[in-house]
Amino acid sequence: MNKVVLFAGTDQTRETLASQLKEYLPDYIELSSFAIDEYLPEQLPDGLIVISSRLAYEELLEFWDLDKISSRLIIARRTIDFDALDELFFLPEGSPVIFVNDVKEAAINGIEALEEVGLDHLELIPFYPGLDENEIQEARLALTPGEVDKVPGFVEEVIDIGPRLMDYTTIVSILNSLGILENQANRFSNKYLQKIIKMGKKLAHSAREINRLNSQLNQIINGLNEAVLVYNPEGKISVATGQVRELLDLGDKDLQGRAVQDIIYRKDLLSFLMNIEQEEKEIFALGGTSTSVNKFYLSESDNIIAVFQNVQETLANNRQLKQDLINRGYYARYTFKDIIGTSNKIKKARRVAKKLAETELTILLEGETGTGKELFAGAIHNASNRREGPFLAVNFSALHDDLIESELFGYEEGAFTGAKKGGKAGLFEQAESGTIFLDEIGDVSKKVQARLLRVLQEKEVMRIGSNEIKPVDVRIIAATNKNIASLVEAGEFRQDLYYRLKTGYIRIPPLRERKGDIRELLDYFIEIESAHKIEITNEVIDELLSYNWYGNVRELKNILNYMLAVSDDNYLTLEDIPDPGFFQIGSQEKSRVFDDSTGLEDSVVVKGSPGYAKSLAGLNNDLNKEELYILKKIKEIRAEGDLVGRKTLAESLKGSEYELTEYQVRNRLVNLEDKGYLERKRGRHGTLLSGKAKKLLN
Ligand SMILES: Nc1ncnc2c1ncn2[C@@H]1O[C@H](COP(=O)(O)OP(=O)(O)OP(=O)(O)O)[C@@H](O)[C@H]1O
């Protein structure tokens, strides 16, 4: 046989298949071809009959009895032209694409053929004339094997992959039937090889291009000088700049491909990063600096990008902020989120502080050293309307009186020897539109007190050596670890100033009154201080719970840092707890110190601890006069054989120096119970003195 006759349904398919056949047939084989919908010869020609599809075969059956010639007939198997497919590989996973063909069956077959060759990342939807357009999902893109005119109007882009070609088994059968497979084998396999090589070259080129773009992109990201982390919703990291490693203290570890969950242990940061629902910005204390983390989700690539910025540096780049503010670092790094603790006492302090932050009231913060007064002051500023303005902290205990005056109020040129040329603006002027934090206000002299009163009353300052009055718009937050009321009583602090300062008042509880927060604080400090996961044994926690923590949260933080430094591995054990000398003691005067390695014990006797000036000689200093009075009253009531309830107690205090409402009595009782002086029993017993209280009163 040296003749081949091709029958195809349409002229377009005829042309495509004929040119495909020509590539494989030697010249001496004569090829003729017919499109069924255009023209058919009267007689079935001689030679090998090749029919383009089963559908075309069935159409031809109407004209000729093809069963008779089955020995010289081949029905082609068809497949997609790979050369036309590359564009499809670049479409995002799951994109809806309609596959358009002239009849339903052909549309479905086309989709099957694509899936067979592994193109399964798209959502392919069959479409053919007659199908109700409203019933199919709208797609932006259509694919069609040459049926462009049948593509519906809503589609924006059409990829014509041309008619399907004959697959290689069909070509082999044709060559075989012609008896030329053997001598054409080389040519045939070379053709296929060429196609495969061409495809391979394309892929290699794409891979090179992707690598080049990737490395360019990495260079750009690293050059940004920002800490950038890119990861998918499962947490798998695709980009992490060197700055991220530095910030999170991760050494040289290669982070690409690792999970965010494996490298970040801080729960708050992790849950922030893994919540992809919304674009967010939050501030975290990382490696000792405030870091703002800005996170957003890119739905196109299903990636989350987190950008970490040092708040101080960000401020420095923000031209809106005054240069002065930048140079001096006059900003508050803390927010209410940084105030850790869920005990009722800290919750109450936080709640009140949040409320006061919304007002313009002057605030007095009272609390022992290390309880977090500066933390509260900063958080209040950052939650107030003044947050864009400066936050200036002045510590009176560290400054000499004269210096305090000139620093706070400024001076004119020549006001005193050593005064700078041109004079100097004081801190009140520099804090314009912001907040000034006056720490250790109890240490300030009467002279400065008088000047402060003027600022509070008149909202104006006068520089030293000047008569000119300057209005200032500054909010004052003052703090003290002394009991100012008793300083007022002793005539050391101006009463009028005290009342002016105390328009807003927050008592920050000492740590020993909220030991329930210790665990949480330890976890928090471990998260910010350590790059690794650290376990603390229960014994250590119990031991730490037994201390009095006179240096409060600051002391707890210091001790944890010590323990992290001396511990051998990722566990903190009893052995890592420092010697007693490391712990802060309640006052300079003490009648007995610790006697074993467990540090301070409950019975250490201290006088005049900071914060509660009037402590009682010979007693544990955690009681004030009022509390002692209440204990005495309870003893009296019990001696009468009566039950102690809020009401009885409030009545018994009436007329005394410590008259209290029932509500106040309830709070005092809760405090005394927390400190171990009272036991509350249900039912007939009411409130009872504990053994500790009885010992004290006897
Ligand atoms: N509730 C808290 N949560 C987290 N950290 C805290 C808390 N309270 C205090 N700290 C930390 O303890 C340290 C001491 O806090 P801060 O300087 O605010 O105390 P302070 O009361 O102003 O002390 P002082 O009276 O000695 O100036 C800081 O490192 C602060 O971040």
Q: Which residue, judged by its Cα, is nearest atom 28 of ligand 1?
A: 554
Q: Are 381 and 474 in contact (CB under 8 A)?
A: no
pLDDT tens, 342-357?
999 999 999 999 999 9
Is the model's pLDDT at 620 over the cut of 80? no
Ligand 1 contact via 339 beta carbon (within 6 Å)? yes
Is the model's pLDDT at 603 over the cut of 70? no
pLDDT band of residue 286 (cuts 50, 70, 90) is confident
Ligand 1 contact via 443 beta carbon (within 6 Å)? no
Q: Which residue, judged by its Cα, is nearest atom 25 of ligand 1?
A: 369
pLDDT at residue 436 in the model: 93
Distance 372 CA to ligand 1 centre (A): 3
Ligand 1 contact via 374 beta carbon (within 6 Å)? yes
pLDDT at residue 317 in the model: 52
pLDDT tens, 480-494?
998 899 899 989 899
Is the model's pLDDT at 593 over the cut of 70? no
Is the model's pLDDT at 64 over the cut of 50? yes
Which one-letter DSSP state was computed for residue 641? T
Is the model's pLDDT at 611 over the cut of 50? no
Average pLDDT, the chain: 82
Q: Which residue, judged by its Cα, is nearest atom 16 of ligand 1?
A: 372
Distance 389 CA to ligand 1 centre (A): 22
SS3 content of the chain, % helix, strand, coil (to 5): 45, 20, 40
Is the model's pLDDT at 584 over the cut of 80? no
**What's the rounded mean pLDDT across residues 622-642?**
84
Ligand 1 contact via 370 beta carbon (within 6 Å)? yes
Ligand 1 pocket check: which of 333, 553, 561 to mutate, most ligand atoms within 8 Å of Cβ?
Answer: 553
pLDDT band of residue 600 (cuts 50, 70, 90) is very low
**What's the rounded mean pLDDT across residues 452-462?**
89
**What's the rounded mean pLDDT across residues 331-344?**
89
pLDDT tens, 263-276?
888 888 888 899 88
How far apart (Å, rounded) are the C-alpha atoms in residues 343 and 349?
Answer: 10
Closest of 146, 85, 145 to residue 118, by C-alpha = 85
pLDDT at residue 251 in the model: 75
pLDDT band of residue 17 (cuts 50, 70, 90) is very high
Distance 452 CA to ligand 1 centre (A): 25
Ligand 1 contact via 406 beta carbon (within 6 Å)? no
Residue identified by tokens 């000036």 is: 613
Distance 551 CA to ligand 1 centre (A): 10
pLDDT band of residue 559 (cuts 50, 70, 90) is very high
Between 669 and 1, where is the model more confident? 669
Ligand 1 contact via 17 beta carbon (within 6 Å)? no
Ligand 1 contact via 439 beta carbon (within 6 Å)? yes
What φ, ψ does residue 365 adopt, rounded to 5°?
Answer: -105, 125
Contacts of 137 (CB under 8 A, 6+ apart): 96, 125
pLDDT at residue 685 in the model: 64
Distance 369 CA to ligand 1 centre (A): 8
CA angle at 657 for the pair 655 and 658, rounded to the nearest 5°: 95
Is the model's pLDDT at 380 over the cut of 90? yes
pLDDT at residue 607 in the model: 26
**What's the rounded mean pLDDT across residues 524-548?**
87
**What's the rounded mean pLDDT across residues 419-446?**
85
- Atom of ligand 1 at shortest distance to CA of 340? 3
pLDDT at residue 33 in the model: 95
How far apart (Å, rounded) are the C-alpha atoms in residues 343 and 42?
Answer: 99
Q: Residues of the chain with pLDDT > 70: what percent? A: 87
Is the model's pLDDT at 590 over the cut of 50? no
Which one-letter DSSP state was computed for residue 412? -
pLDDT tens, 184-223?
777 777 777 777 777 778 778 878 888 888 777 776 766 6
Distance 386 CA to ligand 1 centre (A): 22
Is the model's pLDDT at 675 over the cut of 80? no
Distances (CA, A) of 126 to 88, 89, 113, 118, 151: 16, 19, 12, 17, 11
- Strand-pairing partners, residue 227, are 308
Distance 670 CA to ligand 1 centre (A): 25
Distances (CA, A) of 316 to 113, 320, 514, 696: 60, 10, 38, 57
pLDDT band of residue 601 (cuts 50, 70, 90) is very low
Radius of gyration of the chain (CA): 42
pLDDT at residue 556 in the model: 94
How far apart (Å, rounded) are the C-alpha atoms in residues 111 and 99?
Answer: 7
Distances (CA, A) of 505 to 366, 448, 453, 613: 8, 21, 17, 19
Contacts of 36 (CB under 8 A, 6+ apart): 7, 8, 9, 10, 56, 59, 60
Ligand 1 pocket check: which of 347, 365, 374, 380 to mutate, most ligand atoms within 8 Å of Cβ?
Answer: 374
Is the model's pLDDT at 442 over the cut of 70? yes
pLDDT band of residue 591 (cuts 50, 70, 90) is very low
Is the model's pLDDT at 696 over the cut of 60? yes
**What's the rounded mean pLDDT across residues 428-443?**
89
Side-chain half-sphere exposure of 603, counting CA atoms within 13 A = 7
Q: Are 599 and 616 in contact (CB under 8 A)?
A: no
Ligand 1 contact via 373 beta carbon (within 6 Å)? yes
How many helices (DSSP H) and strands (DSSP E) are in the chain?
25, 28
**What's the rounded mean pLDDT across residues 99-105?**
87
pLDDT band of residue 319 (cuts 50, 70, 90) is very low
Q: Residues of the chain with pLDDT > 90: what percent? A: 25
Interaxial angle between packed helices 552-566 and 518-529, expressed in degrees from 0 to 180 and rounded to the nearest 10: 50
Which two tokens mark 521?
A: 């604080």
Distance 375 CA to ligand 1 centre (A): 6
Domains of the chain: 3-79+171-179 (3.40.50), 82-162 (3.40.50), 224-317 (3.30.450.20), 328-507 (3.40.50.300), 536-621 (no CATH), 625-697 (1.10.10.10)
Between 627 and 76, where is the model more confident? 76
pLDDT band of residue 336 (cuts 50, 70, 90) is very high
Is the model's pLDDT at 598 over the cut of 50? no
Q: Which residue, judged by its Cα, is nearest atom 10 of ligand 1?
A: 372
pLDDT at residue 431 in the model: 85
How far apart (Å, rounded) are the C-alpha atoms in residues 264 and 244?
Answer: 11
Ligand 1 pocket check: which of 283, 375, 396, 481 to mutate, most ligand atoms within 8 Å of Cβ?
Answer: 375
